[in-house]
Every structure is written in C-alpha cells, then in structure tokens.
Structure 1
Amino acid sequence: MKTVLVTGVAHGIGKAIAAKLSEKYCVIGIDKELPEHIFCDTFYQCDLSNMQELQETIIQVKNRCESLYGLVNNAGIFIHKPLKNQSILEWEKIIAVNLTAPYVLAQALSPLLHHGHIINIASTRAYMSEAGTEPYSASKGGMVALTHALSISLSGSVSVNSISPGWINTDESYVATVEEKAWHASGRVGKPHDIAKVVEFLLEDENGFITGSDFVVDGGVSKKMVYP
C-alpha cells in the first residue's frame, strides 16, 4: 500500500483528507494536537513552527519509510485582527507553520517521492483579501508560488500542485444561512470533504502530467462580479 503524509490531520480539512485517503493509502499524520480519529496508520505530534521538533520528526519519518507516494501540506494557522494590532511574533509563527514548514518538508522528503506528489493546501486569500489578514494571506500567496517553483525544481520526478479552498465550513455545528449559501454559485458553502476529493484526484494522476497548477475550490465565489 502506498504511503501519504498529511500535516494538520487533527481537525477540519486535514481530518477529512486523512479519512478519504485512509480508504486507499497508508496515512502518516503530523499535527500539534493529538487526533481523536483513527484515520492515521502512524501519527507524529509536532509543532511545525518549532524547527527542532520538525527536523526530529522528519528523521523519524525517514527512518520509518523508504519511500512516500504523497506529501500533503495542509497544516495552517490564521489570525484576523487590525493591522496595527498584529505583532511580529504572530507574523513569524504563521509564516513558519503555513509556509516554512511545507518548504522544509518538501526539501527533506522529495527524495522519497520518486514519481510521487506534493499537494499544498493554499487559500483563495492568496488572490483576494479582507482587512486584517496580512500574515495569513501572505503565507498562502507564498504557498502558491512555492508550488510552481517546486514543480520546476522537481520536474520529471515529483508532481507539485496546490489547492486554494474558499469558505470551507469546518464547524460541524454551524448551519450556513440562506444568504451565505446564495453567495456561492454552487448554492452552498464548502465542506472539508470537497477538498479531500480534489486531493484524491491529484494523487490518482500517476503519470504526473498535472503539475505546477493551483486548483481553486470556492463554490464559484471568486468568479462573481461584485459592484459597490
């Protein structure tokens, strides 16, 4: 059975990805929090903003696996506060988790991914923003750029793509309003499973022709003309 490593598996999109992939693959999970689900065959607890912890985890993965089929960089943290109230420490932590860790993991594990896949979970905030989201938006814009850069550096060996989700409702207790559903051309807000299905699709591209691309999965919101 092929092995796929997924970061940020404890909750939300990462949990959905682990659940979907566990049907076909051996799943290695990494997260700061312990997952309450059983979708990971192996799990490593790691704070991705801590470089020492990350490097130690990479060593453990390499000692366990001679090869990987996929690396899904999903873990991410978010803040939403006025620009004047954002701290440099918040900026550095978000960049560390959302962008530096995916780069380090890709660099370290790509030799194990011969004819495999790297899939980076970005965001539509790489292309459009609301006030007070500078660190997160910058990290996700970087993720999209990192994706196409890696696709060239690893060409012929590893396929590298990103997925940019829009509004994905990870709160199972929240019920979207009629207005919120209508805002989407799809007629509903997104679910974590929507992203997991795209990850599954990309992993099934065994010939690796799809690479260097970003797949926007936002229910059509970013295509909607908005007038003042």
Structure 2
Amino acid sequence: MSLTDKTFIVTGAASGIGRVVALQLLSEGGKVLAMDTDRAGLDALSRGGGTTDRERLHTFVGDVAEEDDVAACIRRAGDHFGSIDGIVCNAGIMKRIPAQDLSYEDWHRVLDVNLSQSFLFARHGGPKLRETKGAMLLVSSTRAFMSEADTESYSATKGGLFALAHSLAVSLSPDVRVNAVAPGWIDVSGDELRPVDHQQHLVGRVGVPEDIAHAAAFLLDGEKAGFVTGQTLVVDGGMTRKMIYAE
C-alpha cells in the first residue's frame, strides 16, 4: 500500500473524525502522531489502535492554537519517526452564540483553533514536508458555503480554510500538495437519528467519520492523488446539492 511506512500528524485525534482518520491511516500501514488536548482520549486511542500498532502510533498532548505546542509537535514527530509525510489539521471547536453575545475572546479562540492551526503547521511543518514531497490536509466544512444562525465564528474559519488550502498549495508547490476536505453532516455522537435526517441526503443516509477518513487517506496518498492540489473535496452525501422547500 502506498501509505505504508509514511508518517502523519493528525490533530484533534482523541475523538470524532480525527480519531477515525488516525485509525484509517494506521490500517493502511502508516505511522501516526496523534495530537489533542484530551490526554484520556489519546490514551484510549492508543489502546484502540491494537498491540501491533503501538510502535506506529505516538501521542502528543498539546493545543493547536499555541505556536510553541505546534512547533514541539513537529519536533516530536521528527524525533520519533524521523520524517513527516503528511499533516492533517482536523482539530476544531464551535461556539454557537449570537453575534451580539459572542465575546471577542471567544471569536478569536475559534479562529485560533480552527484556522490559525493550519498556518502554524504550515509554518513549522512546511520544511519537513518539502523534504518528503508530502501533503497537508485541512478539514473545512460545508459551512464554508452555507450556514445556520449564530455560527459566524465557525463558518468564517471554515471558509478561511477553503481559501488557505489553495493559497498554501501555491506557496508550497511543487514540493507539497495541500488540499481540504469539507464534511457535511457527520454523525460523531452515535445518537439515534430520525428518518428525515437521512432523507435530506441524496445517498439516503447521514455521514459517518469513516466517510471522511477514506477521503483523507486518498488525498494524502501521493500516488493516487498526486495530481490533486489546491482543492476542497466536499463529502456530504449530496446534501448541499438538494434544494429543500418547506411544505
């Protein structure tokens, strides 16, 4: 497999999409440094990776909004694995608060976690990726293109990632490919969903983290996706292509 023995950093890897992306890359023969602020979640990921994966899975507790932590994560990956072939900037938060009630501090916290992390990883990890002709993957969202009320900070960051992906792809070319994936409704809670929730999607179901993990593995693969850069792949079951009218 073309991801075999390749080394990846995955942020927000303690739960949700990030966790499944990390496990997918491991299942395809890759090595992963999983970063998160949730130490217990990272410990659970290590146990879930299986005994045979322990030499290929390393964890790092840190905040993607802190430049010192990002720089330390890059150093740790280099020291532990020797090289870095891909970086998945997945960590993200949402503060669903009306604009008039959203503090400037909260606004900046969402921007720093969701958007600035990708700049910081490009700044500190770019040289390592140039050495390996590697790739970056930014996790955007269909909220870059559509919105619900009171999600201004989140939507702004996801739209920013759409633009940052093609900007970094130009700046880091020809050595490093940079793409984004824009998930739609992905069920990370496991809660029971209604039939109407599934019916909103052209494929007849709400997405699962594995849908994003498969897309991530493809975009990080320098053989399968070697001619793809500066793009944002929407993975939403067709939801954003279906016009919905109230009856």
Tell me which interval the TM-score lies in, with the shorter structure as reference length.
over 0.9
Amino acid at match of 2:92: G
Partner of 2:33: 28
Amino acid at match of 1:191: V
1:109-166: CA deviations, max 9, x gaps?
Answer: 1211132111111000011111100111011111111100011111110111100001
* Bigger shift: residues 10-19 or 42-51: 42-51
Relative distance call for 1:65 and 1:109 in structure 2 (3 A) is farther
Partner of 1:116: 134
Partner of 1:85: 101
1:38-74: CA deviations, max 9, x gaps?
Answer: 2361111001223333333333334334421111110
Contact in 2 for aligned 1:8/1:30 (Cα 8 Å)? yes
Q: TM-score, normalised by structure 2?
A: 0.87
Partner of 2:198: 181
The alignment status of 1:9 with 2:13, answered yes or no, reads yes
Amino acid at match of 2:219: L
Contact in 2 for aligned 1:116/1:159 (Cα 8 Å)? yes
d(CA) in 2 for partners of 1:205, 1:226: 38
Structure 2, unmatched stretches of 5+, are 50-55
Structural mapping, 1:64-143, within 5 Å: 64-113=80-129, 114-143=132-161
Relative distance call for 1:205 and 1:60 in structure 2 (3 A) is closer
State which of 166, 170, 187 in structure 2 corresponds to 1:152.
Answer: 170
Percent identity of the aligned residues? 38
Amino acid at match of 1:29: A
Shift of 1:202: 1.4
d(CA) in 2 for partners of 1:52, 1:70: 20
Helix, strand or coil for the counterpart of 1:119? strand
Contact in 1 for aligned 2:14/2:36 (Cα 8 Å)? yes
Partner of 1:195: 212
Partner of 2:45: 37
Contact in 2 for aligned 1:158/1:208 (Cα 8 Å)? no
Q: Which has the higher helix share?
A: 2
The count of aligned residue pairs is: 227
Structure 1, unmatched stretches of 5+, are none
Contact in 1 for aligned 2:198/2:204 (Cα 8 Å)? yes
d(CA) in 1 for partners of 2:219, 2:201: 24
Amino acid at match of 1:145: A
Shift of 1:83: 1.5
Contact in 1 for aligned 2:71/2:124 (Cα 8 Å)? no
Q: Which runs of 4+ in 1 moved over 6 A?
A: none
Amino acid at match of 1:144: F
1:175-209: CA deviations, max 9, x gaps?
Answer: 21001011111101010000000011112242721
Contact in 1 for aligned 2:10/2:18 (Cα 8 Å)? yes
d(CA) in 2 for partners of 1:27, 1:209: 24
Helix, strand or coil for the counterpart of 1:144? helix
d(CA) in 2 for partners of 1:6, 1:130: 28
Contact in 2 for aligned 1:3/1:26 (Cα 8 Å)? yes
Q: TM-score, normalised by structure 1?
A: 0.94
d(CA) in 2 for partners of 1:133, 1:15: 24
Shift of 1:171: 0.6
Q: How well do the aligned residues superpose, as a CA RMSD in angstroms?
A: 1.5
d(CA) in 2 for partners of 1:22, 1:108: 24
* Bigger shift: residues 198-207 or 50-59: 50-59
